[in-house]
Chain A
Amino acid sequence: MSRQWRNLRGFLFFAGPSTFAFISITIVSFIGGVVLTFTNWNGLSNTLSFTGFDNYTAAIADDQFWSSLWLTGRYVVAVVLLSNAFAFAIAYMLSGRIRFRGMLRAGFFTPNLIGGVVLGFIWYFIFSQGLVAVGTALGVDLLSTSWLASETLAFWALVIATVWQMAGFLVIIYLAGLTALPGDVLEAASMDGAGGLRRLRSVVLPLMRPSFTICVFLAIGRSFMTYDMNLTLTGGGPYGSTELVAMHVYQKAFVSQQFGTGQTEALLLFVIVAAISVLQVSVGRRREVEL
């Protein structure tokens, strides 16, 4: 048995099942999806016909798609900035010597263990009933009416709930980054007279850039694809004003039964998210500091 064959067999043994799963679940589905964008399939019919670029024309002409994409863009910016800011602040606090550190770490991570659908329902009751009861009792106007009934406040309700969930996940990555910071560099900075804030700005933040790159990448991808929280917290309401692009794509395909157009919009979304993510990672990598 040749060495090459032994290597191939070893590769197939270890990587074969996952490669097979990846190809059959991701690649084949992706190709199938691309093919669908050229058809008029309604999601159920046994027959379909090819319609050329009709779905692309329809997707580009779909005003609701572009407005939900614009809304998603604003949502992504808010979520990425806030979740990373909170996550880094929490991680920095937890990396110091504080009491109940382990318990706090677990506590901040817990929301991430709960599925988006359940979290959405929990926050739905908080915003539509819990805060309203508190606001009414205390006479606080901002809280006495459900946030979910206002276009602007429902958007921020969605941002708050997402940040609350995502920050816990990002905290873990930032904590790992902070733990791996070289002690001698930090110690040298202190000996050179750098105070806490100066050390954070000039030493910790530059050295944490790899963690920022990863966290921002993850936050962008996850927030662009938000569907479950959107579905259960606002349902796209009031009157469709918080319908993010992933939800719009689902509605197009499954509710309006325009699978071809929905799939085309999903493909456009994929291209946009991929382009933004690649750009972000390449810029982030260039700014990383090597010791």
Chain B
Amino acid sequence: MRRRELIALAAATLLAGGCSAAGSGSPSSGADGAVGFSGFVGGPGILTQTEDAIKAFNKENPRYEMTFVQGQLNQPPFQQLLTMYASGNVPTIFILDAPDLAKVADKVVDLSDEKWVGEEYPWARQQGTVGGKVLGAPQSATGVGFLYNRKLIEAATGGKFDPSTIKTRSDLAALFAKIKKAGTAPLLVSPLSWSLGSHFLGKLYDAQGDDTARARFVSQLKAGSADLADNKVFNGLMDTLDLMLKYNLNASKPIAGTIETDGKAFADGKAAFWFMGDFQWPMLQAMGVPAAGDGYGIIPVPISDDSSDPWNHKIMATSAFVMAIDKTVNTPAQQKAAKAYIDWYVQSASGQDFMVNKAGGVPAYTNVKLPVSNPLGRSVAAALADNATYSPYMGLPSDHGAVLGDVLVKYMAGKLDRAGVAKAITGYWKSQK
């Protein structure tokens, strides 16, 4: 009987121990007295490469032992962080989308005094700054616009393609018409809520002007005083969308495409342009585009017929993700170790090699001089260097892409007209508190 009691006691102790362990972050000590801490990658990130980077970091920094926490690919990192914070099991360093940084502002370490601060592009620093404090370090930069296949365009038009000649929507329409006449599909528009809701519709807010003008426009939307029917940007954007849908490879079945089928179609040269971002390069390569990928690039999405309109000349560039360090359950020693990882990533040769060559990223830091390893990334990097990019509005609610992306997919399917889209957008904003 006594033995049974001992077993019961042991079981209860183990259970209680298990429960109390849920309140910690990551193991604070590694092998040989090294500081143990953890790093998390979730969402459509670069999992394998990050794991390799952590191995390289551990090898070069024996004082630290970083462990890799792998998240889910198909779930935004912030949603996964919510459950991690709810369970009190938070990795020391994690990535998240830049607009989500403000939501964890009271839980992450102030990085304002770090050595790499000042090396980021000004827009990237702004995206990582909340309330005057630098809270996030950009992982890399990414750009969104029309990806193009130069060889296909030139074969269809019989002339040399100069991306800088596309200054207006009419220029784009003329090029699309020429390509179509030659029997090639001009464009692919993927019916993906996240792409249309965040990347395409995002320009509705971005192109209102500077941060003050954007905030004013959003305030008017919330108050119900913004009239989208007469809004120049909204109508310009919808006119461009109509043009895209007219020349879409999948015009006869506009919402049948998936990221896989459309990526394969673009990689196979079935369409000359694709509304997407440089982040799709790894997938295009996996689908058969040669590693060199000569002739691929990215151009802005024109939203007017005014050739002097700056929004026709700039691609949207943002931090692919920002890295932040938890201070709620991770010890000061672990926070210091996580800072060392960001230092290594931004400043060391091997960290930069991972950022640019292994992960194929576009540096968001001016001190990183390595040439970008893929043509789409090179196009984004060139735009960054030429100041031909704009930073998106950071105040969109977390469900904006999903909710209003669905509205644009419905428009693509012909189940909604322009007035219906406007009504859905104003209705969405009015419901925001």
Give A contacts to B, CB under 8 Å: 12-13, 16-17, 20-21, 24, 42-44, 46, 128-129, 132, 145-146, 149, 231-232, 237-240, 251, 254-257
Q: Say yes or no: B256 contacts A44, CB within 8 Å.
A: no
Do A256 and B104 touch (CB < 8 A)?
no
Residues B82 and A146 in contact, CB atoms below 8 Å apart: no
Interface string of B252-266 (1 = CB under 8 A from A): 010110101100000
Contacts of A146 in B (CB 8 A): 256, 258
Given contacts A44-B82, A237-B406, A256-B399, 6 further A-B contacts (CB under 8 A): A146-B258, A237-B193, A238-B410, A255-B398, A257-B82, A257-B398
The listed residue (A24, A44, A132, A149) touching B255 by CB distance below 8 A is: A149
Known contacts A17-B11, A237-B406, A239-B406: A128-B399 contact under CB 8 Å: no
B399: A residues at CB distance < 8 A: 251, 255-257
Task: For B4, give the chain A residue with the smallest CB separation.
Answer: A13
Q: Are B261 and A256 within 8 A (Cβ)?
A: no
Q: A239–B398 contact, CB under 8 A?
A: no
B261→A239 contact, CB < 8 A: no
Residues on the B chain within 8 Å of A13, using CB = 4, 8
Q: Is B369 an interface residue (CB 8 A)?
A: no
B402 within 8 Å of A by Cβ? yes
B253 touches A149 (CB 8 A): yes
**Distance, CA A231 to CA B402, complexed state (A):** 13
Q: Is B407 an interface residue (CB 8 A)?
A: yes
Q: Which residues 256-297 of B have a CB within 8 angstroms of A?
A: 256, 258, 260-261
Which chain B residues (1-41) contact chain A, with CB distance < 8 Å? Answer: 4, 8, 11-12, 15, 19
CB distance from A247 to the nearest CB of B (A): 11
Nearest A residue to B107 via CB reads A44
CB of B398 to closest CB in A, whole Å: 6
Residues of A contacting B: mostly: helix
- Annotate B360-404 by CB proximity to A: 1 below 8 A, 0 otherwise: 000000000000000000000000000000000000011100110
Complex: A158 Cα to B407 Cα, angstroms:
22
When the two chains form their complex, are residues A239 and B410 in contact, meaning their CB atoms are under 8 A apart?
yes
Asked whether B8 lies within 8 Å of A12 as measured between CB atoms, the reply is: yes
Check: B298 CB closer than 8 A to any chain A CB.
no
Quick one: CB contact mask for B238-261 with A, threshold 8 Å, 1 for yes? 000000000000000101101011
B258 touches A128 (CB 8 A): yes
Q: Are A43 and B82 in contact (CB under 8 A)?
A: yes
B103 at the interface (CB under 8 A from A): yes
B103 → chain A closest CB, angstroms:
6
Q: How far is the CA of A239 from the CA of B402 in the complex (A)?
A: 9
Q: A146-B258, A255-B79, A255-B399 are in contact. Are A239 and B407 (CB under 8 A)?
A: yes
Q: Which residues of A contact B8 (CB under 8 A)?
A: 12-13, 16-17
B226 at the interface (CB under 8 A from A): no
A169 to B79 alpha-carbon distance, docked (Å): 32
Chain A residues in 8 Å Cβ range of B258: 128-129, 146
Contacts of A237 in B (CB 8 A): 193, 406, 409
In the complex, A254→B83 CA distance in Å? 9
Interface centre among A128, A232, A254, A255 (most CB of B within 10 A): A255
8 Å CB contacts to A: which residues of B63-120? 74, 79, 82, 85-86, 103-104, 106-107
Decide if A240 touches B406 in the complex (CB within 8 Å): yes
A40: nearest chain-B partner, CB-CB: B433
Q: Closest approach, in angstroms, between the C-beta of A27 and any C-beta of chain B?
A: 15
The interface residues of chain B, by DSSP majority, are classed as helix
B191 at the binding interface (Cβ < 8 Å): yes
Chain A residues lying within 8 Å of B19, measured Cβ to Cβ, are 24
User: Do residues B15 and A17 form an inter-chain contact, with CB atoms below 8 A?
Assistant: yes
The 8 closest A-B pairs by CB, nearest first: A239-B410, A149-B256, A239-B406, A256-B399, A239-B409, A255-B399, A149-B255, A240-B406
How far apart are the CA atoms of A149 and B410 in the complex, in Å? 11
CB-based contact A46/B398 at 8 Å: no
Q: Looking at the assembled complex, report how far the CB atom of A97 sits from the nearest CB atom of chain B, in whole angstroms.
A: 46
Q: How far is the CA of A17 from the CA of B85 in the complex (A)?
A: 27
Given the complex of chains A and B, what is the CA–CA distance between A21 and B15 in angstroms?
9
**Sample (28) of A-B pairs whose CB atoms are under 8 Å apart:** A13-B4, A13-B8, A17-B11, A20-B12, A24-B19, A43-B82, A44-B104, A44-B107, A128-B260, A145-B253, A145-B256, A146-B256, A149-B191, A149-B253, A149-B256, A231-B74, A232-B74, A238-B191, A238-B409, A239-B255, A239-B410, A240-B406, A254-B79, A254-B82, A255-B402, A256-B398, A257-B103, A257-B398
Report chain A residues within 8 Å CB of B15.
Answer: 17, 20-21
Question: Which residues of the other chain, B, contact A240 by a CB distance below 8 angstroms?
Answer: 406
Task: Name which of A13, A42, A145, A239 has the most chain B CB atoms within 10 A of its CB.
Answer: A239
A202 to B223, CA, bound (A): 67
A43, B193: Cβ atoms closer than 8 Å: no
Contacts of B86 in A (CB 8 A): 43
* Distance to closest chain B CB from A43 (angstroms): 5
B416 to chain A, nearest CB (A): 8
Distance between B393 CB and nearest chain A CB, rounded to angstroms? 18
Cα A145 to Cα B252 in complex, Å, equals 10
**A44 is contacted by which of B12, B103, B261, B402 (Cβ under 8 Å)?**
B103
User: Which one of A21, A46, A251 lies within 8 Å of B106 (CB-CB)?
Assistant: A46
Closest to B406 in A: A239
CA distance A24 to B406 in the complex (A): 39
B415 contacts partner chain A, Cβ-Cβ < 8 Å:
yes
- Is there a chain A Cβ closer than 8 Å to B413's Cβ? yes
- The answer to whether A239 and B415 touch across the interface, beta carbons within 8 angstroms, is yes
Residues of B within 8 A of A257 (CB): 82, 103, 397-399
| A46 surroundings in chain B (CB, below 8 A) | 106
Mark B402-424 against chain A: 1 for CB-CB distance below 8 A, else 0.
Answer: 11001101100101000000000
Q: How far is the CB of B283 from chain A (nearest CB, A)?
A: 15
Give the docked Cα–Cα distance between A231 and B253 (Å).
Answer: 23
Contacts of A251 in B (CB 8 A): 399, 402
Max count, chain A CB within 10 A of own CB: residue among B12, B104, B256: B256
Which residues on the B side are within 8 Å of A254 (C-beta)? 79, 82
Is A17 touching B12 in the complex (CB atoms < 8 A)? Answer: yes
Q: B402: which A residues are within 8 A, CB to CB? A: 251, 255
Q: Contacts of A132 on B, CB cut-off 8 Å? A: 256
